[in-house]
Structure 1
């Protein structure tokens, strides 16, 4: 398994990740979304390995279905995202920097 790699503020990659995550979320978790939750995803939307990753970048038919999503409380998701962004800035994770996520 390879490490994740941050993407710079590449609108295409981030938008593709978010759009795929939102589509699957609406399809799989409609009741939770209607109740005010939003889906969180892994790998993160800010990585090249996010929900929108493709084998051939220009071909949507080569979608790599290697991500997970789960409905969470919006405030919690926003707070976690802010914490992650602060970590990335503090430790100077830049575009294309590889990193691992370890869960204890």
Structure 2
């Protein structure tokens, strides 16, 4: 099990860089977290996101999981 955060740790809005308290964390499966990190790295490379380049995050709910609380990991 891993802990994931939003805003992403790799952005200037991350709690570590911005020093604020406006963020969210959640425990997730470690394989999903690793996969998400790889996806983020690929996004930066493919779309040439450079230091401080702005981008939007459009979060989508998975089909069938609308209006459901997040799962509780042991």
* Deviation for aligned residue 1:93: 0.3
- In the other structure, the counterpart of 2:47 is 91
Superposition RMSD in Å: 0.9
**Number of aligned residue pairs:** 59
Deviation >4 Å, runs of 4+: none
Structure showing the higher helix proportion among its residues: 1
Q: Which runs of 5+ in 1 are unaligned?
A: 1-36, 55-63
Does 1:77 find its partner at 2:41? Answer: no
Distance 2:40 2:3 in 1: 16
TM-score, length of structure 1 as denominator length:
0.54
- In the other structure, the counterpart of 2:5 is 41
Q: Which runs of 5+ in 2 are unaligned?
A: 61-74
Distance 2:59 2:35 in 1: 18
TM-score, length of structure 2 as denominator length:
0.74
